[in-house]
C-alpha cells in the first residue's frame, strides 16, 4: 500500500512542532515565535491561493468572485474577533496560535474551492 502524500496542513503542523522542539521547550514566547513564523508561510500560500481563485472566478463567474470577496472579508472579521476573544479568555499564547490555526483551516477551504 502506497502512503498518501502529506497535506499542507500536516506540513504546517510539522513546521510548528519542529519549531517548538528546536526552541528547547514550550512557553509563551516559543509558542508566539513559532506560530508567527509558521503563520507567515501559511498567509503567503493562503493569499496566493485566494488571488488565483478570485482571478479565475472573475473571468468565469464575476458574481461568484464578488461572493468570494464578501466571504473572505467576513471570514477575516470572524478570525480577528475569535482570536481576540481566545487571547483574552484562553491566554496570551492564543495571540499567535489562534490565527495560525484558523489560517491553515481557511487555506484548506480555499484550496478545495480552487480544486487543488
Rounded to the nearest integer, the mean pLDDT of the chain is 91
**CA separation (Å) from 13 to 16, 19, 89?**
5, 10, 24
CB proximity list for 3: less than 8 A, separation 6 or greater: none
Tens-place pLDDT, residues 3-19: 334 445 669 999 999 99
Distance CA 108, CA 102 (A): 10
CATH fold for the domain made of 8-114:
Substrate Binding Domain Of Dnak; Chain:A; Domain 2 (1.20.1270)
Q: Tell me: the pLDDT tens digits for 13-52?
A: 999 999 999 998 889 999 999 999 999 999 999 999 999 9
Model-wide pTM > 0.85:
yes
CA distance 19 to 24: 9
Residues recorded for the chain: 116
**Ranges of each domain in the chain:** 8-114
Confidence of residue 93 (pLDDT cuts 50, 70, 90): confident
Amino acid at each position: 500500500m502506497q502512503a498518501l502524500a502529506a497535506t499542507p496542513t500536516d506540513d504546517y503542523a510539522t513546521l510548528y512542532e519542529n519549531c517548538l522542539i528546536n526552541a528547547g521547550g514550550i512557553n509563551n514566547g516559543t509558542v508566539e515565535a513559532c506560530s508567527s513564523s509558521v503563520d507567515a508561510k501559511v498567509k503567503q500560500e493562503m493569499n496566493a491561493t485566494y488571488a488565483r481563485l478570485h482571478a479565475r472566478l472573475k473571468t468565469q463567474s464575476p458574481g461568484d468572485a464578488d461572493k468570494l470577496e464578501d466571504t473572505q472579508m467576513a471570514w477575516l472579521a470572524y478570525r480577528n474577533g475569535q482570536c481576540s476573544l481566545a487571547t483574552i479568555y484562553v491566554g496570551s499564547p492564543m495571540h499567535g496560535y489562534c490565527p495560525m490555526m484558523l489560517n491553515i483551516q481557511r487555506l484548506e477551504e480555499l484550496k478545495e474551492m480552487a480544486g487543488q
